[in-house]
Structures are given as C-alpha cells and as structure tokens.
Chain A
Amino acid sequence: DGGITQSPKYLFRKEGQNVTLSCEQNLNHDAMYWYRQDPGQGLRLIYYSQIVNDFQKGDIAEGYSVSREKKESFPLTVTSAQKNPTAFYLCASTPVVGTPNTGELFFGEGSRLTVL
C-alpha cells in the first residue's frame, strides 16, 4: 500500500542525546514536511523540502536538523539544543510539480518523543 511510514512510533530519550526520527514515503511525492504537535497549539512546521538535496526552515526549526538525500526519505534529528523536545512529531508529503493546490497533505501516523 502507498503511504508514509514513520518510525519509531514511541521513543524515549535522555537529556543531552540526539535522536533521529525516520520518515519514508512511497507515494512519489516531491515535497515532504515535518510538523510538531503540542496540545492546544495545532501543528507547527519544523522543516520542509520541495526537492531532493534542498530543504527550508519552518517556523520552529531551532534545535532540529534534516536531510533529503533521497526523494522518498526525510529524516528529522532532534538535537540536544532543542529545549523542550517532548512532543508528537508528524511527517507529511504532497505532490508539488504539475499538480493543482488541493490543500491536502498526506500524514504519517506520527512519532511520540519523550525526554526523560
């Protein structure tokens, strides 16, 4: 089945450790996104990438890093510089080139990170 796969679903980290969240899509979508979800704050954009080997900072990029070496993969690293990393992280994708704007992002099932 086509879709977006995020792993791990749950992750625990000690303070001071970097962790990497995986996001893989087999939808052949050009654009990929990382969002952070906190209660009452909606979804806030961390990073996005419209094309391989290129990515842009979103609204809350500090303390995070990404890479886009392959079209289907967009891993997110939560670094020790992120002051409040405990959250639900969502990866999404959408076709971009040659498609009309539908307002639709396709989301994975999320990764819940807890810092101990």
Chain B
Amino acid sequence: QQQVKQSPQSLIVQKGGISIINCAYENTAFDYFPWYQQFPGKGPALLIAIRPDVSEKKEGRFTISFNKSAKQFSLHIMDSQPGDSATYFCAASWAGNMLTFGGGTRLMVKP
C-alpha cells in the first residue's frame, strides 16, 4: 500500500506557539520522508526531509520526528510565525525519486 495519511487537515496556532502535523505510512519500502511547504498559488517546495535510520532532524524552527517502529513521523514548527501560514504536505519516497503525498494540512498562524 502506497498510502500516506496526514492529520490534521487544518490547524490554527497563535503566534509563538508550536504547530504539530502528523503522518503515518504502511509501506516499509519507503526510504525517505520529506515535508513540503506550499503558499497559495504556488508550487510546493521542499522544507525538510529525513531518512528512516534517523529519529530526529532539526533545521532552524522546523523539526521532523521519526518513529520507525510505529511507522509515523511528524513536523514540529517551533515559535510559529504568521509567515509560516501555508499548506504542508508530508511525503514518502520509493523507487528512487517517486513520491507519495499525504492529504495536506492548512496551517494558519494568528498574530
């Protein structure tokens, strides 16, 4: 099964708060787990990615936590800012650069 399930569908966070988006997968053949950020009217862009042999990766305010045994991974946005308001997609990579995407989370950060 190539499915990736993402939750929540939408999220509202106050400025300075922590945004958390969760994803789950079934296929153990997935070999890379990227997150994409998309602003309205634009294409998605890679935000941060993690390999399954790593439990956590941090880049600035963005952190991926990866739980291989539970087949789950999550994106944490610390000190969320209004400029972070966007749609976020988790994804899982297989067979080289083939990606399966989650359903997306629309994040709104209120000032």
Instruction: Give residues in A with beta carbon < 8 Å to B.
Output: 4, 31, 35, 40-45, 48, 90, 92, 94, 96, 101-105, 107-110
Contact partners of A109 in chain B: CB under 8 A: 41-43
User: Does B96 lie at the interface of the complex (its beta carbon under 8 Å from any beta carbon of A)?
Assistant: yes
Contact assessment for A96 and B44 in the assembled complex, using a CB-CB cutoff below 8 Å: no
Contact assessment for B96 and A96 in the assembled complex, using a CB-CB cutoff below 8 Å: yes
- With A96-B96, A103-B93 known as contacts, the answer to whether A41 contacts B103 (CB < 8 A) is yes
Q: Classify the secondary structure of B's interface with A.
A: strand
User: Does B89 lie at the interface of the complex (its beta carbon under 8 Å from any beta carbon of A)?
Assistant: yes
Q: Number of B residues contacting the other chain (C-beta, 8 Å)?
A: 24
Contact assessment for B32 and A102 in the assembled complex, using a CB-CB cutoff below 8 Å: yes
Contact partners of B101 in chain A: CB under 8 A: 35, 42-44
Cα distance, A105 to B49, chains bound together (Å): 12
Cα distance, A92 to B34, chains bound together (Å): 15
Contact partners of A48 in chain B: CB under 8 A: 98
Contact assessment for A103 and B46 in the assembled complex, using a CB-CB cutoff below 8 Å: yes
User: Does B33 lie at the interface of the complex (its beta carbon under 8 Å from any beta carbon of A)?
Assistant: yes
Contact assessment for B43 and A108 in the assembled complex, using a CB-CB cutoff below 8 Å: yes
Contact partners of B93 in chain A: CB under 8 A: 101, 103
